[in-house]
Structures are given as C-alpha cells and as structure tokens.
Copies of this chain bind each other. A is one copy, B any other.
C-alpha cells in the first residue's frame, strides 16, 4: 500500500510538473514560481506535500531554500507498475528498449 501516497500526491498536474522540473535541476522556490502561474504560497504548499511523500528534498542556505527531486521515492510506484506490466505481454519489447536506452 506504499504506492497509495504516491498516486495521491502525483495526481495533481501542477504538483507533478513541479516534481518533474525538480528532477531536471535543483532550484529555489522563487525559481519554481517563475515557471508557474500560481502564487508563491501555492508552490510552497505543493513542495510541502511532495516533501511529505519523500519525493522532494530541501537544502537551506540563508534565506533561500533549494529543492531537488528524489527519484528513489518513486520505488513503490515503479514496483506497482512492474507488477501489472506482466498483464501486458505486448509491451515487453518496449521495456527492453528502456533497458537499452539506460545502458547507453
């Protein structure tokens, strides 16, 4: 049931976008805010939710707060998907492609 929180937290499109952006680069709340059409408190609230699920980590530096995504926290979701991938034989080839791409 560890995937429950992940599904819930990632269900919101804005919050998922925040997570995805933080996978690309560490950045501050202000940096994040620049990319979205919502207020700073809204960004901070999403970060708090993501942090609660372990999807994001914080690094304080003076008055700045640097956030970065922690992909390891996706583990239960990855496991869930993998578990049901077996119901789906036609996509094994695609999975092999993923492996190939990662070997590069």
Contacts and interface: CB of A to CB of B under 8 A. Distances in A.
> By DSSP majority rule, is chain A's interface helix, strand, loop, or mixed?
helix
Interface string A70-98: 01101101100110111111111011101
Interface residues of A, number: 36
Contacts of A72: 88, 90
A75 B99 contact: no
Number of identical protomers: 2
A13 interface: yes
Given A20-B84, A74-B81, A78-B91, 7 more contacts: A1-B13, A7-B16, A71-B88, A72-B90, A78-B85, A89-B102, A92-B103
8 contacts: A7-B11, A8-B11, A71-B84, A74-B88, A78-B94, A95-B95, A95-B102, A96-B99
